[in-house]
Amino acid sequence: MRRSLYRGHLPSSPVQKVVAACGSAVASLWDPRRGDMIGTLGEVTGRVALEKLRRRLLASEAGRALLRERPLIEIAAPRRAGPPTPGSFGAEYEAFMARHGFHAEDRSPVALVDDEELAYVLLRYRQVHDYWHVLCGLPPTLLGELALKWFELVQTELPVAAFSAVFGPLRLSPKDRRALRTTYLPWALREGRNATFLLEVSYERHLHTPIDDFRQASTS
């Protein structure tokens, strides 16, 4: 029997991972609202990309600190340093979450990645998703999500981002598909390349940073 490597870990064989990958891909295409299936797909297909992300994190002091400290984004986290200053990144994040009825702890835990540190890298990627919405100024609409998925693909090279970016447009109206192709896709490719490596950013230390300053420092 395979040994559990971290809390919530579900050990699985290569064959089981292939079956999970195929099943979750089909289920995600059949019903794109199945976030659990998209999450499973990300866990069983992302090993190579996650290892590359870990190497990038280990190459910088900020990344090494992230892997050492392993911060988690929680409901109360933005207010631990006091109420966010109006116009700050923290204030914009709180407004975004409240406006759309999101909660910081909604992101599902990782279970199928057979490496504790890589599991944290994937969890961090999931948890900073809403931070990236705020930084990029993208709404959580289908069009906004797809634009962000292309941005994430350039930044992370994760297969699950590629899956969403390639197959997601099938659900768009012709008008939105044209907007994605002519406006959002060029933006995502350009900004994804030009931005700093956003996975290593310590967002918790920038909650009081003016949002315009943080965007300029991070995404240009």
The C-alpha atoms of residue 139 and residue 102 are separated, in whole angstroms, by 12
Return the exposure string of 158-176: e unless at least 16 CB atoms fall within 10 Å of the residue's CB, then b: bbbbbbbbeebbeebeeeb
Backbone dihedral angles phi then psi of residue 170, each to the nearest 5 degrees? -60, -20
Residue-level pLDDT, tens digit, the chain, 220 residues: 578 898 889 898 889 988 988 988 887 777 666 777 888 888 888 999 999 999 999 999 999 999 999 999 875 555 555 678 899 999 999 999 999 999 888 888 999 999 999 999 999 999 999 999 999 999 999 999 999 999 999 999 999 999 989 998 988 999 999 999 999 999 999 999 999 999 999 999 999 999 999 999 987 6
Give the pair of three-digit tokens for residue 54. 């870990």
The pTM of this model reads 0.91
Helix then strand then coil, in percent of the chain rounded to 5, is 70, 0, 30
